[in-house]
Structure formats: C-alpha cells, structure tokens
Amino acid sequence: MARHHHLIFFTAMFAVAVLFVPGASGYPWPMCGGANKTFKPNSTYQANLNLVAATLPTKASASGSLFATASAGAAPDRVSAMGLCRGDSDAASCLACLTQGFQDLPNACSYDKDATIYYDACILHYTDARVVLSAADTGPSAETYAMGFLVNISSDAAARFNGVAAALVNATAERAAADPKRRFATGEADADFEEDGFSKVYALAQCAPDQTAAQCRECLAGIIADTVGVGKLFENDLAPRALGLNCSFRYEAGGDGPFYNGPTMVRLASSASAPAPAVPAPASAPAPAVQPEIQPPPSAGGGRKYSVSVLLLAVMLPTLAGLNLVAFFCFRMLQRPVAQAKQPYPMYSFKAEDIEMVDSIMIDVSTLRAATGDFAESNKLGEGGFGTVYKGVLPNGDEIAVKRLSRSSTQGVEELKNELALVAKLKHKNLVRLVGVCLEQQERLLVYEFVTNRSLDLILFDAEKRELLDWGLRYKIINGIARGLQYLHEDSELKVVHRDLKASNVLLDAGMRPKISDFGLARIFERDQTQAVTNRVIGTHGYMAPEYAMRGNYSVKSDAFSFGVMVLEIVTGRKNNQSYNSAGQCQDLLTTVWEHWEAGTVMELVDPCMGGGSFPEGDVLRCIQVGLLCVQGDPVARPVMSSVVTMLGSDMVTVQAPSNPVFFAGNATAVSSVLG
C-alpha cells in the first residue's frame, strides 16, 4: 500500500503553527498514527521494529543519498520504515539523528504502528503498510506539517518580500527536482529590507531521493501552492517551513547567514527579486523568468484517516479563515515576545562604555590598505564563509591579521557587532586579541593580533608539520583550549557559548600557545541561564553536539562536546570524519576511539608522530578518557570546563568512566546514547 496523498492544513496543522514558535519549543516534532492501529509491548511487531531500528540508520547514513528504506516481518506484523537525512548533512550526523529517532519516536507515539518524527537534520517514518515509498507516488506528502512562525515583516514591505520569497522558493524547488542524487537544493536571494534588519532570504527544498524529477517537482509545487502567496498560511512570514515525507521546503529571512550548511546552489540577484506569484502561472500564461516550471499537483483524495475530500475543504476553509483571524490578533498582541524568541538569545547590546571602547580602537581604512598591500593576494591567510583574512604590518611594525567581510558575506552588521563586543571585552591568554576595527568606505574590517603559526588544523593534519607537535606541545594545547573555554563559560565578565569550536578556529602563537578565535556565532548567556534554542543551526558537522545539530539546543555543554572531539583529534592526529576500523572500513573517529577503549587497545590509535613511546602513557590515557567524557550523548553527563581543567591538571583526581559516545554504532544491534 503506497503512501496516500493528503494535506493536514487544518486545525491540527494550525495547532502546530501556534505551538512551535522558535524559542518556545523545538524539534523533535512527532506525528502519531492513532489508537486504532497499535501493537503490544514485547509483541512480534515490537521485535520487527527493533530489527529495523538496528539496520536502517546505518543503511541510510552509508548511502550517497542519505536515504534508505527497510522492512522486517510479515503481515500483519510487518514493519516498513524510511529514513531521510537533510541533504547538507554528513554520514555521522545522519546516523546519530536516525538512531535517536528510533529512541524518541516509540516514546512519543507509544505503541502506534504508524508514526513519523521530524528533526532539523532528518525524518523517520515507520508503518505496518507493506510499502513505505513508491516511485509512482506523486503529489503532496503523506504527512505535511506547515509551520508558520508568525514573525511578520513591516506592512509596507510585505508585498515585495512575498515576491522575493516566492521566486526563491520556486527556483530552489526546481533545482532540487533536477538533482538526481539527493533531490536537494539550497537558495539565496538578495533582499534589501534594512528597515526590517535583513538583506538576504535563504531557502531549502528536498524530496525523497527515490522520486523522479517530475514527481519531486509536482510534490513541491503542491505544498508551495498551499502555503506561499497572498492569503496563504506563510504570507508575510519570515521563517516558515513545510515538512513532509515526500517533500519539504523552508525559507528564512537572513540575519545570521544561511540556516543550511555547505554551498548555496541557487542565487537570485536583487534584479530578479521582484514580486512574483507564489506558484507558477498556468500553462496558458508565460511564467516569470525567475520561476521554475513547477505545476501544482492534481487534487488528492482518499488515503488514511487524515485524508480530506473537496467537500471537507469547502466546509473547513471558512472555519480556518476565522481561526487564522483570531490567531493573527492573538499573535499581534504577543508579537514582542515572539520577536525576541526569534533570536535564541539576544546578541550583545552596546552600552556607552562599549561604544567608547570600540571608538578607541578604530583604525582608518587607508592604514589597513597600506598594511596589507591593498589586500594583496600574496598576503591572504585564508578564506571562510564570512570573508577573507589578510596578513598586514602596521606602521609601528606590529603584525596583524585583518578579517575583511565581503559585501556578500553571511555575517551581517549584528554579527559584526556581536563579535566586536565579545572579543573586545574578553581578555585571556588563550583567546585571540582584537587590535582594532574599521567601518569606512563600505568596508567592514576586524583587526586581530597576528598569530604566527596560524590554525591548529594546518599543522595537526599535515603529514610533515604534525611531527612538530610532540606530546608536550599537544598536552599544552589541550590544556590551553580548556582554560580558554573555562574563562568563556565561567570566569569572564560575560558567560559566552562559542558554538563553532573546531581545530581551524584554534590559532597557535610562536610558542605554540593556543588561542580560540572566530566569535561570529558566539552567544552570551545570563549567569543563571543553562541553555538556549535556535531554529537556525549553524556550525561544522563533526564538531556539533547532537542536541544542537538535531534540535537547536546549545549550551556550555555543546562547547564541551566540540572540545572532546578536538582532544581525540589532537591525540590521534586524525580528523573526526576520517578514521578507519580494524577491517579498513571508514567510520567516524568517536566510534573508532570507543571501540579501542572498550577493547583496551586505545594506545594503538595514538599519533606515532608525537614521539613514539617516549610520552607518559598515563597522561595520554587521561586525555582520551576526558575526551570521551565530553562527547557523551547526554549533555548532563558531560563535565563543565573547570572540571576538565582539574582532571587534566592532576593525576590525583579520579576521572569517571565514560559511556558510549553519541555516534557510536559498533554493530548492527548497537544503539547510540540517549540525548538530553
């Protein structure tokens, strides 16, 4: 039985839109089949579900499309399941997300034979139907959540914004349909809405990879037609999303940059961003140039208990219009709290003394052009998502690193202010020092101390340079990073969560002392605040804590996870996504280290470049153990950084035994740790 076509854009969907306001709640979003199709504990169906859970996550994460189906048993206890990870995920995060889904979903939908759960990074669905997916299955997805976050743009710019969003969503959908591997695409459009605090709109679209291009195109057009446009659910909405099994999309006004990882596949310049209809025009009329040729699907009928007929539509739509009107006025009253929730935690607000401090370190652009040879290519130190970094020399002879934000940079003015305020107020030997700032002639330049040996990854993962890092230096680097994080989390005037800690964001000075850099994604917490939630997950796969990657939850414990990954990288000399087991099969570093830790052979993984057998084995084992503690699945079980510093600094302190790291898969029956 193929998945049936129906949309639940009615009271249930409306409740979802109300309940899931960013900052108020987050992933996961489960959808349960109902009490009329249930199974009993310890039943055959439960056993078959366990078999599918043991194989599907590994199967999907190992596939190039990050998608798989699996089944076990025979009717009436047959279990069929599908797992689909977002197209910008990697194998490790896909494995973790789907494995977690098989833990969360049976709890959320107790003993339901038919259930679905949506995370930011993946979708999991299982059913007692014989076939979960069908190549002939077109039209809207079986379950479609439409979530409008109800944070609206100013009325005078609404029509223009809706046009930009519609053009971008349709262009991104067309690109996704044309992708033969993952049916996935990302998009970006220029949008000059400075009065509303953003200059970009970002989009993402995806279909189940087993669909044809035509089926994907038809599916996306259906949910776009039902949600995007004048009078539709997402009208004037800055951050909505529609989630389904067959297809899904979302778009978001950009402040912090794109919500997706990896490159942007579709770009619409401002000249192409004129108002456009939400869906392509009928075949008899020419479509706008920026619109892909996506035709709405035929009306869907039949299906499971969620199915709706045309008659039901006629009855429900007026009712929904009234509900939407009531909700609109309710949310207008709550607009200020909702708008605050849009930022998971407010960026740093400048005070008078902060402005004076920034004024005191202003450097004119002519000085920086002279210092860098007018930003000469020969002085380029590196390039990232926010811009390019150049080496320079000031007139007094001081060497500097100038971070030049490109005009198309995803780091906006607010992020720049955030990094300025943070770095200027933070003073610690293990943090990079801000020297100055320039905001002249449309340039946005941050000037840092020049750190001689550049970033840790350029030495640690280089076949020749890594030999410079003996055990003494590696131990010094690990301790320095830990002390820098302790200062950020516990000892500084501000309580700061970095959110993008990785080897390339740790710089090494002439004495190989580590300095944590790049605070563009950092957030400030209140002293008594323990965590925050964002609906825009930005960071680097492999270093992101699972609760952040999947649910948007971040805290000092998510930084601790990133630190633990780096400790294991420093000790082994291996990148977190480039490791191999005893059979020569590629697997993530955390899995490899854990397997050897359990077998008592973890010293075999120590980087032979750091001094052969001359290093103290006890100190190395202690570092590995601390690293494993930091990457445990439950954030509560991870140590705070002051405890890490204590454990690293004294062999008189007892270090507790670690549990499975969150990405541990081991064998077919292994299940990763429970997330907090």
CA dihedral 575, 578, 581, 582 (to 10 degrees): -90
Please answer whether residues 85 and 204 qualify as being in contact, where contact means their C-beta atoms are separated by less than 8 angstroms: no
Looking at the DSSP bridge assignments, the partners of residue 434 are 448
Please answer whether residues 208 and 116 qualify as being in contact, where contact means their C-beta atoms are separated by less than 8 angstroms: no
Q: How far is CA 31 from the centre of its chain?
A: 22
Nearest CA among 21, 14, 602 for reference residue 341? 21
- Rounded to the nearest 5°, which phi and psi values hold at 352? -60, -45
Place of tokens 């140590």: 639
Residue 457 known to be catalytic: no
User: How does DSSP classify residue 203?
Assistant: E
The Cα–Cα gap between 392 and 648 comes to 37
Is residue 675 helix, strand or coil? Answer: coil
* Active-site pick, 500, 518, 559, 588: 500
Relative orientation angle of helices 471-486 and 617-630, to the nearest 10 degrees: 40
Please answer whether residues 102 and 51 qualify as being in contact, where contact means their C-beta atoms are separated by less than 8 angstroms: no
The tokens of 140 are what? 């809207």
Helix (H) / strand (E) containing 558: helix 556-572
Is residue 287 helix, strand or coil? Answer: coil
The Cα–Cα gap between 299 and 283 comes to 17
- What Rg do the C-alpha atoms of the chain give, in angstroms? 26
The answer on whether 181 is annotated among ligand-binding residues is: no
What is each CA distance from 293 to 32, 177, 188, 243, 248, in whole angstroms?
A: 34, 11, 19, 22, 17
The Cα–Cα gap between 548 and 492 comes to 24
The Cα–Cα gap between 128 and 138 comes to 21
CA atoms within 13 A on the CB side of 282: 1
Please answer whether residues 630 and 639 qualify as being in contact, where contact means their C-beta atoms are separated by less than 8 angstroms: yes
- Rounded to the nearest 5°, which phi and psi values hold at 303? 110, -160
User: What letters, b where the CB count within 10 A reaches 16 and e where it falls short, cover 656-674?
Assistant: eebbbbbbbbeeeeebbbe
Handedness of CA 342, 343, 346, 348 (dihedral sign): negative
Is residue 424 helix, strand or coil? Answer: helix
Residue 612: left (phi > 0), alpha (psi -120 to 50), or beta?
left
Please answer whether residues 123 and 116 qualify as being in contact, where contact means their C-beta atoms are separated by less than 8 angstroms: yes
Is residue 665 helix, strand or coil? Answer: coil
Residue 573: left (phi > 0), alpha (psi -120 to 50), or beta?
left
Q: Which residues are annotated as a binding site?
A: 403
Just list the catalytic residues: 500
Q: Which residues are annotated as a binding site for ATP?
A: 403
